[in-house]
Amino acid sequence: MIELQNAAYNYGGGELLSEVSLKLAPGSFHFLTGPSGAGKSTLMKLCYMELTATAGQARVFGNDVRNMTRDDIAEARRRIGIVHQDCRFLDHLPLMQNIALPLSVSGKDVEAEKGNLRELLKWVGLDHQENALPQELSGGERQRAALARAVIMAPDVVLADEPTGNVDSEMSQRLLQLLIELNKMGKTILVATHDLALIRMAKSQVNIRVLRIANRRVQLAGADL
């Protein structure tokens, strides 16, 4: 699905990531961990094509990102559910429309999908909030809303950057359950987090692989978690 081959990234002050190779096989569940500032979000951005590797290559759905036009990237993103680290909503639109945004953007009939939208809101436990504006939601609600928006297009891959960033442990657990459910539905999942407790919790329920960024490289973490 998504593959990095000897990829590097450099914001200008020296390489932040070097010789990164990873492969997200269909249906796999990966965690990406590492200290704050290690480059987790940067690696996620390489995966969803917001950044282009400064060396090596990234392949998304088999295509070399360097050869993709902006329209190609837009098309590919419709198959990737992205939960951004800061969620990122359109603050002037109510929750329902924010979650429906991927549908509107790809020209789908939002009215016809209203049923699915309601179901999805119920799934993330926000069915009573559909008319709320994003800034009226709590941190955990925003994270769940971001997850709902990420999966509305029934994507093949879900990339979640710190999905439990600023929520309490109970909410973390709920979010994790949603991600596990998605994986059981066959979705490929990559979650970046510095929350080791979350990883341990996941490990006890599904088959996961944990990647760790250390010294600019990405390694497969052992049983030391």
User: Which residues here bind other proteins, judged by CB under 8 A?
Assistant: 48, 50, 70-71, 74-78, 82, 84, 88-93, 97, 101-102, 104-107, 110, 149, 153
d(CA 141, CA 128): 11
DSSP the chain: -EEEEEEEEESSSSEEEEEEEEEE-TT-EEEEE-STTSSHHHHHHHHTTSS--SEEEEEETTEEGGG--HHHHHHHHTTEEEE-TT----TTS-HHHHHHHHHHHTT--TGGGHHHHHHHHHHTT-GGGTT--GGGS-HHHHHHHHHHHHHTT--SEEEEESTTTTS-HHHHHHHHHHHHHHHHTT-EEEEE-S-HHHHHHHHTTS--EEEEEETTEEEE--S--
Within positions 1 to 20, which residues make up the interface with ligand ADP, using CB under 6 A? 11, 16
Q: Give the nearer residue to ligand ADP in terms of CB position, either 74 or 214.
A: 214
**Minimum Å distance from CB 90 to other proteins?**
6
The alpha carbons of the chain give a radius of gyration, in whole angstroms, of: 17
Question: Measured from the CB atom, is 121 or 210 closer to other proteins?
Answer: 121
One residue of 18, 22, 33, 39 binding ligand ADP per CB under 6 A: 39
175 binds, among ligand ADP, Mg ion, other proteins, none (CB under 5 to 8 A by kind): none
Of the two residues 58 and 95, which places its CB atom closer to ligand ADP in the complex? 58
Please say which residue, 80 or 211, places its beta carbon nearer to other proteins. Answer: 80
Among residues 13 and 62, whose Cβ is nearest to ligand ADP? 13
Q: Select the span of 41-49, 56-64, 120-128, 195-203 touching Mg ion (CB under 5 A).
A: 41-49
CB of 81 to other proteins, least distance (A): 9
In the set 18, 41, 172, 183, which binds Mg ion (CB under 5 A)? 41
Q: Which stretch binds Mg ion (CB under 5 A): 33-41, 48-56, 127-135, 216-224?
A: 33-41
38 binds ligand ADP (CB under 6 A): yes
- Give bridge partners of residue 65 from the DSSP assignment: none
Q: One-letter amino acid identity for 112? A: A
For ligand ADP, the binding residues (CB under 6 A) are 11, 16, 34, 36-42
